[in-house]
Amino acid sequence: MRANPLFLSAALVLAFATTTPGQVAAQDMPPQTDAEKRALLDRVLEHQKKNDAALDTYERIERVETRKSSADEQNPTIKVSRVVPAGTGVDHIPIGADGKPTDADAYREELVKLEKTLAWAAENGRAQQDAYAKTAKKKKEREELTDAARNAFLFSFIARDPRADRMLLKYSMVPNPAFKPTSRSSWLFTRVRGAVWIDEASGQLARIEGEVTDDISFGLFVAKVYKGSHFMQERYETAPGIWLPSFSQYDFDGRKFFSSFSLHERTFYTNYRFIGPPKDALAVIRAELAHADLGKSGGTVADP
């Protein structure tokens, strides 16, 4: 299992005061009423909750490139994995840069481990109920944080920005001085500023960029993320009504205990495929194992 570098990705967004070529500036557009803006932002947040839930049923391939510094473009450490939701967590199966297994036997061993994990997650025993309860609590906290973001920032329309055949609405985000954080997590919203790009037709979040505006401390001496750290993410429609990440980039500098650290990471997300909840995913993985076993024994079977 691999954790996200920072769980507040949707909060770390960077405001750009100028427009880029192809944009239509705000002053050249009909004014948007406060009611229209509120309705649009409410749609975005509800869609975001749906998209977050969809990640529990879609597998994908992730290519993670890690560098020692943001300026270091040479020889990144690259890890490519098949990422499969497994009920109460996510399983990462290493694969080659071409998206295929580098070692068929090792890959099969990983599938066998995943099969056991999914088989356990598909049961309804006390242990599973406890595990899902913890997962549900984390999801609820994430939804509450998403709701808090709606009031934590002031949104100002900047421009209409074309992307391929779509039109995006760009808004700056700055901390709302009237916002009262109710948790340590929502307090972090006061230390970031940003911009969001919203797909005009669907009301979906298409892009976010972010900057930490003041050092963020975690505990007295545990960790600190320094001012100036950046984050960005691109999203596209993966299935009707579902927009999932296609690219993320983190450039964080800080301190953990008494040692400095730098996190400079780019992640590419491809090959999304609906695999369903554990019971359905288990059937898919078992079919793959049967296919692999028949192939080794000289038999034939249709692709799952």
Of 7 and 205, the one with more pLDDT:
205
> Rounded CA gap, 164 and 156, in Å?
24
**Is it the case that residue 136 has pLDDT exceeding 80?**
yes
Of 6 and 185, the one with more pLDDT:
185
Find the mean pLDDT for residues 157-174.
93
CA quadruple 218, 221, 224, 227: dihedral positive or negative?
Answer: positive
Domain count, the chain: 1
In a domain, 99, yes or no: yes
pTM of the model: 0.83
In a domain, 17, yes or no: no
23: pLDDT confidence band, cut at 50, 70 and 90? low
Can you give the pLDDT at residue 188?
85
Can you give the pLDDT at residue 297?
53
Find the mean pLDDT for residues 13-35.
52
- CB-based contacts of 198, cutoff 8 Å, min separation 6: 40, 44, 168, 169, 170, 171, 204, 205, 206
In a domain, 9, yes or no: no
Find the mean pLDDT for residues 273-293.
94
Find the mean pLDDT for residues 265-280.
96
Can you give the pLDDT at residue 2?
40
pLDDT digits (tens, 9 = 90+) for 70-124: 666 678 899 999 999 999 999 999 999 888 999 999 999 999 999 999 999 999 9
In a domain, 230, yes or no: yes
29: pLDDT confidence band, cut at 50, 70 and 90? low
DSSP secondary structure, 219-275, as one string: TTTTEEEPTT-EEEEEEEEEETTEEEEEEEEEEEEEEETTEEEEEEEEEEEEEEEE-
- Phi, psi of 67, deg, nearest 5: -125, 160
Can you give the pLDDT at residue 255?
78
**Is it the case that residue 259 has pLDDT exceeding 50?**
yes
Can you give the pLDDT at residue 185?
81
**Is it the case that residue 21 has pLDDT exceeding 60?**
no
Can you give the pLDDT at residue 17?
32
Q: How many CB atoms lie within 10 A of CB 26?
A: 17
Find the mean pLDDT for residues 34-42.
90
**Contact assessment for residue 175 and residue 205, using Cβ atoms and an 8 Å cutoff:** no
Of 16 and 85, the one with more pLDDT:
85
Picking from 156, 115, 165, the residue whose alpha carbon sits closest to that of residue 13 is 156
Look at residue 187 and give its three-state secondary structure: helix
Show the domain range for 83.
Answer: 24-296
Average pLDDT over the chain reads: 84
DSSP secondary structure, 11-69, as one string: T------S--TT-EEGGGSPPPPHHHHHHHHHHHHHHHHHHHHHTTTEEEEEEEEEESS
In a domain, 270, yes or no: yes
pLDDT digits (tens, 9 = 90+) for 199-254: 999 999 999 999 988 887 776 567 778 788 899 999 999 999 999 999 999 998 88
In a domain, 212, yes or no: yes
- CB-based contacts of 80, cutoff 8 Å, min separation 6: 61, 62, 63, 64, 94, 95, 96, 97, 99
